[in-house]
Structure 1
């Protein structure tokens, strides 16, 4: 039996725990709050984030780092990007030099522009970076928790490690592909949330299917351009962690980032919408991080720029689209 330790008790952490416990893995979620851990362990359901789905017998919740992480065959990190560094600092004493870590958090650190796996590696300097991978794809948590078929990509710097972890994560309802382009897989999963917010702006103000299709397509090009500048392969963005995740997030009301965009388009401000969501919407901090990183690298990201203007600078969705339509004419493909 494989022991999987999961850091986090939010929607995605809980869903992964349920998914992996259903295939007879010993799955232990770690909560920073002992009280929350006891509450979830007693209830055997996470009604706050995954309502109505009972925990399998092989899944448990613990406030003990040693119980959940120390002896795990695989550790999955599934916490908000803005807290990932703090969480890794708390569990680092339980991570051995042979641990295998999969980061399921999608985001970029605002202050440094670092990917989540880079933050993990920085906080765990004694762990071989080749033991740190990422998981991403079109993974709307409520559908997976309900047992609907889904796919994802797991990426490590080395394909053998990716192959080993792929076998652990895969099941008859969760087909996992492998890759050695961890940079591309990670950037695709993080940056698509920016585009999803903007796509919801378009739906919210009724600009139509043509406008949305154009926005999403150009968004994919923009994501790819930044990813390639950071060392990713362009073909990765045509895969599950790029196009696949982008489509799911831009076209489903199950997506928190899409719902965030709809809320903004209805005239509400960002704090109000985030409060109503009651869950992390990674697209907001990722927009800040991406705009900052693109400027540092001299990369044009007009969609990220106008999304930032709407979220943080008081621009309207209509003004954002006018800004994009009025840009200087240029070739369609530029990497």
Structure 2
């Protein structure tokens, strides 16, 4: 592939890791953020200590606080900002962008209140003449491992297969590989909803439950993720792939996962406010739990795990009471879809 200019919006852990992947592939990489101290650190020290204590970034990665400057002559824009600010940042991009670009996102969540997927938000806020069909980059990936070039396989999804293939060529190398997909709904819902199940898996671990419980929540969690996604128009096969079961395993079983860690702390008896303060990063699973619960109610989709986690987080229901309720629910067939 010819060298591309890529602007990454959001110098968090995943945005920084993806910047290093793209730089390794010979592209010109620009990181945009609003914290001048962080931008200065990336440019001068070539580190991002808030997220990676012992990692030195490529000296050719440049960071910016000026969005217009970061977007000048860029070929592609990659959104890696928290879900709750995606719409705002897209609006800011539209105000200063003056040429057509490829638009990608690598965030995972549903917009609070509207419950919209992120590609839908980007389609609404960035005019068609300024963008491609949206490309979703998602799958089982810890930034802490990708940044040190550990083997990572994820998915690139777009309604236009050629756009997905562009992302494949853009990112893929000897340690980082993408598979193409056209099921944007499936890939996005899988990436968003697995964070809820990861919180639940962390809660069970924090309470001292073992591998049996872990297997149960991951498997039944995947069933209800699929149930909601299919109701929204997704292909059920997507959930058996990298962006589905793959991402759920990596997020629901690892201490690298902030959603798992948040759940673990809840299981240990910590209150939500102190957990969010100590984490120092956005815990997408918390806001996604509310959005998914409300969406499931609206669409009439049976999601007992999501409902239980919602009650614990937002209604202060005792955790063990919520678990007992799930364990004594009416009996279901394993492959039942309603």
TM range (shorter): over 0.9
Partners of 2:108 and 2:284 within 8 A in 1: yes
Query: Residue 194 of structure 1 aligns with which residue?
Result: 196
Tell which deviates more after alignment, 148-157 or 82-91: 82-91
Per-residue CA deviations over 1:248-267 (Å, capped at 9, x if unaligned) read 00110000000000111111
Distance 2:131 2:42 in 1: 33
Distance 1:229 1:123 in 2: 25
Over 6 Å off, 4+ runs: none
Distance 2:188 2:291 in 1: 14
Partners of 1:30 and 1:68 within 8 A in 2: yes
Unaligned stretches of 5+ in structure 2?
none
Distance 1:36 1:210 in 2: 43
Query: Residue 135 of structure 1 aligns with which residue?
Result: 137
TM-score (norm 2): 0.95
- Does the residue aligned with 2:53 lie in a helix, a strand or coil? strand
- Does the residue aligned with 1:53 lie in a helix, a strand or coil? coil
Query: How big is the alpha-carbon RMSD for the aligned residues of Structure 1 and Structure 2?
Result: 1.5
Distance 2:99 2:119 in 1: 16
Paired residues, number: 335
Query: Residue 329 of structure 1 aligns with which residue?
Result: 331
Query: Residue 262 of structure 2 aligns with which residue?
Result: 260
Alignment partner of 1:20 out of 22, 31, 37:
22
Q: Matches of residues 1-335 of structure 1 in structure 2 within 5 Å? A: 1-95=3-97, 98-127=100-129, 131-335=133-337
Partners of 1:139 and 1:151 within 8 A in 2: yes
Specify whether residues 103 and 273 from structure 1 end up closer, same or farther in structure 2 by C-alpha distance, changes over 3 A only. same
- Does the residue aligned with 2:78 lie in a helix, a strand or coil? strand
Distance 2:5 2:285 in 1: 32
Distance 2:208 2:60 in 1: 46
Residue 198 of structure 1: CA displacement? 0.3
Unaligned stretches of 5+ in structure 1?
none
Distance 1:128 1:306 in 2: 42
Residue 164 of structure 1: CA displacement? 1.7
Residue 133 of structure 1: CA displacement? 1.4
Residue 242 of structure 1: CA displacement? 0.5
Specify whether residues 128 and 327 from structure 1 end up closer, same or farther in structure 2 by C-alpha distance, changes over 3 A only. farther
Distance 1:58 1:245 in 2: 30
Residue 53 of structure 1: CA displacement? 1.3
- Does the residue aligned with 1:135 lie in a helix, a strand or coil? strand
Distance 2:36 2:91 in 1: 18
Distance 1:202 1:35 in 2: 38
Partners of 1:15 and 1:50 within 8 A in 2: no
